[in-house]
Structure 1
């Protein structure tokens, strides 16, 4: 059990680890919004390659979606409004192109999720701690599943996802689980 899950997770992500998150209630809809997510650093090209080849098993040209603190979104995206459900494609700023190209589509857009403490306290705390460590308040956020499987709805499914993929670890509520 970790006493400060957000800071622990942010440190792991800054170090280049790919981590599944299973917390709170299951989200409905086609997007993982922080409760059933795989999080990774957008700052490391090796992480994106590993996400595609060993976790999501998908084509390398497909970028991942960014989660960003809502009050910092304008620094990276030309969104102009909140996007809490990752349902809006936004243009990106030069800072995003230079700093976090892993989340930028070839057409210069990104499918952004804006995060607040009110909507998802843990994800907002992780983004804040990650920004303190790296200077960037953005993370890759993709659904906690592998190709062809549903988003993990139970702890058992999340543990199976950890075991069957290239995830480095899983934050299961307050528990930190690593492969042996």
Structure 2
């Protein structure tokens, strides 16, 4: 890597040098039109990344004889690259920490110190990605009352949320403990009906403000992944891009990328019972065992953590309903 083309970590948001600009041209202004040159450059960078990483994987496999690969670091959040590694067959198994960026690096440093400094000689398996704080119903009630929002307690939150989603509503889903990492995995999620071809544009216009080419993720019941995806891969942390079966793409247009892929999240009853129950209830209503899942935040903001965060986002964004556990708030028409 020729570091003369980069200005990291001293360049702030602009991490490349003037030499990089001279080689590749001036950057696209924020909000400017995406040209063919922009597309070609992005595709070339992705292709180079994938080929470089595959070369490193082959080298590691030859040197170590290992059959399993564990990845960390921000590059490991590149779900297209991860899918290429898995499809290559270089390793039999691939594990990526859900917080593969800076938080995961900090966790790795702590584990290294525990082993070498404190002498802790045991493994620390990741049982769940839901390692953040949870909030009691009393806190949620108090937050809703303080905000002056009328709410109701529902007997079956997954079933009620599924009813609203099937009716085309955009739902904020706030349950139990916060996810560890940048992906919303069903505890701090904004959910929508994947059958609606206009849903992606609605979400971007009302809430997310993302570039139109960026896809939203399908969260599917783990046991039904083979019905909708060419390769029935388990991807509980939303870190793999997989090809959606051609005959299914018209059923779920809101989560299909331009190349026929989706950034897959598989959901099991064991890993997340409330989210599993919600998708199951939606499947019972619609025949579609998946939902559009995106992080519970607006553009430029972190994922909501507290009930107060969720309420603030509900009030300022275009959500139609909010569930704090089994407490439901619906936006007045």
- Both structures adopt the same fold (TM-score exceeding 0.5): yes
- Match of 1:97? 249
Q: Please, what TM-score do these two structures have when normalized by structure 1?
A: 0.96
Can you give the 5+ residue segments of structure 1 that lack an aligned partner in the other structure?
none
Q: Aligned Cα RMSD in Å? A: 1.1
Question: Aligned partners of 2:317 and 2:263: how far apart in 1?
Answer: 24
Q: Please, what TM-score do these two structures have when normalized by structure 2?
A: 0.53
- Match of 1:138? 290
Report how far residue 60 of structure 1 moved: 2.5
* Residue 81 of structure 1, aligned match among 216, 221, 233: 233
Query: Mapping of 1:1-180 within 5 angstroms?
Result: 1-180=153-332
| Alpha-carbon displacement from aligned partner over 1:2-58 (angstroms, at most 9, x marks no partner) | 110010000000000000011100101110000000010001123322111001112
Question: Which one has the bigger helix percentage?
Answer: 2
Which one has the largest radius of gyration? 2
- Match of 2:119? none
* Aligned partners of 2:246 and 2:260 also within 8 Å: no
Greater Cα shift, 94-103 or 105-114: 94-103
Q: Which has the higher contact order (CA 8 A, sep 6+)?
A: 1
Can you give the 5+ residue segments of structure 2 that lack an aligned partner in the other structure?
1-152
Secondary structure of residue in 2 paired with 1:45: coil
* Aligned partners of 1:75 and 1:95 also within 8 Å: no
Report how far residue 59 of structure 1 moved: 2.3
Greater Cα shift, 56-65 or 108-117: 56-65
Question: Aligned partners of 2:247 and 2:237: how far apart in 1?
Answer: 23
